[in-house]
Structure 1
Amino acid sequence: MTYRYTVTATPIGAAVAVFGEDDRILALGTAEDPLWVVEGVARELRRELAASHDDIAGLGAQLTEYFGGRLQRFDVEIDWRLSPGFAGDALRAVRDISYGETASYGEIADRAGRPRAARAVGTACRFTPLTLVVPVHRVIRSDGSLGEFGGREDVKRQLIELEGGSVR
């Protein structure tokens, strides 16, 4: 299988998306150095990734719409192979958090069928290869505080505020 990646500039850094031949997205990460994301995903897949300048699955246009406040849910098919087991279950539950809303790690654990696994939800959110299309920024601590977002709490706050949500 050939894996392709594309890079799109966003207000929170370069968004690097990785797609399989079927145009299903395997990874979407943001970083100041896009090659960091590419190399990490290539290691996970144990394959090299080919650069693409196409707007695969219209994701670049969707990112523009999202950051412009005009898109509430990404319309992409996800390939969950890099999020196996409970991590995948938790991230599927995260994907169901509505635009402008938040849920606690414990609430997501409950929705994913393991009510006592709030810490495992945190781990799934921290290490997910899929940000934005799986809105892990909408998952907060039970006390209402933000928690982490790849070490960038300011970005988590920015995304929640973009969506019209309130944060402490």
Structure 2
Amino acid sequence: MTASDSQTGRLFAALPEQDAPAMARLHDRLVDRVQREGILDVAYRTLDTPVGSLLLAGTGVGLVKVAYAVQDHDAVLQQLADRVSPRILNAPRRLDEVSRQIEEYLTGRRTRFDLPLDWRLSKGFRREVLMHLRDIGYGRTESYAQVAAAAGSPRAVRAVGTACATNPLPVVVPCHRVVRSDGGMGGYAGGVEAKHILLTMEAEV
């Protein structure tokens, strides 16, 4: 299976409506086959949420990528093919548990994620920052300076901003809880509006 397989999978939705059920069955058979043969390295799906469509991607290790629509899902899939494996396929059932937990979080029924994560897309100090973000509790925030100090490099405030901006697992690894020292929200991969929605939701629960 090559990167073109993922493009083929995405084309199913564009087929005539009368062919959709048959194509869905064929797609399910394809997913089952590549899973049996152990040649599916990255499974992905999309999830409609109050903060827009999220692309979810997982490996045999765990969830490896969460991406907002503004990040261009097609470009993200290509990056995954380049950086993780070209053996990538739309396989929603592989991500059922991820989807369930994200939906529970976005409807106020979950305050902490319990998912295996694949950290391969983040290294060095950036990964140290992301590890700390998981300790910022639901409904709380920390400044970029506080996160830098907690990660062991108090002067690396800009590097913390970069780590948050390039976080491969937003929502699940809560970079939205990092704000500016002056009270401003700061940037966010999903856009300032998405960050505001998440912080407001958490504050109201």
Name the TM-score, length of structure 1 as normaliser: 0.90
State how far apart, in whole Å, the 1-side matches of 2:133 and 2:140 are.
11
Query: Is 1:10 aligned to residue 10 of structure 2?
Result: no
Question: Which structure 1 segments of 5+ residues have no match?
Answer: none
Question: Which structure 2 segments of 5+ residues have no match?
Answer: 1-38
Aligned length: 164
Residue type matched to 2:141 in 1? T
Query: Is 1:27 aligned to residue 80 of structure 2?
Result: no
Aligned partners of 2:139 and 2:203 also within 8 Å:
yes
Moved more, 82-91 or 69-78: 69-78
State how far apart, in whole Å, the 1-side matches of 2:64 and 2:137 are.
22
In the TM superposition, structure 1's runs of 4+ consecutive aligned residues that sit over 3 Å from their partners are none
Matches within 5 A, 1:1-80: 2-22=41-61, 24-31=62-69, 33-54=72-93, 56=95, 58-80=97-119
Aligned partners of 2:136 and 2:177 also within 8 Å:
yes
Aligned partners of 2:44 and 2:57 also within 8 Å:
yes
State how far apart, in whole Å, the 2-side matches of 1:36 and 1:109 are.
30
Residue type matched to 2:173 in 1? V
- Which residue number in structure 2 is paired with residue 143 of structure 1? 182
Query: Is 1:154 aligned to residue 190 of structure 2?
Result: no
Q: Which has the higher helix share?
A: 2
Aligned partners of 1:30 and 1:37 also within 8 Å:
no
Matches within 5 A, 1:87-126: 87-126=126-165
Identity %: 38
Q: CA RMSD in A?
A: 1.7
Name the TM-score, length of structure 2 as normaliser: 0.74
Partner SS for 1:163: helix
Shift of residue 21 of structure 1?
1.8
Aligned partners of 2:44 and 2:88 also within 8 Å:
yes
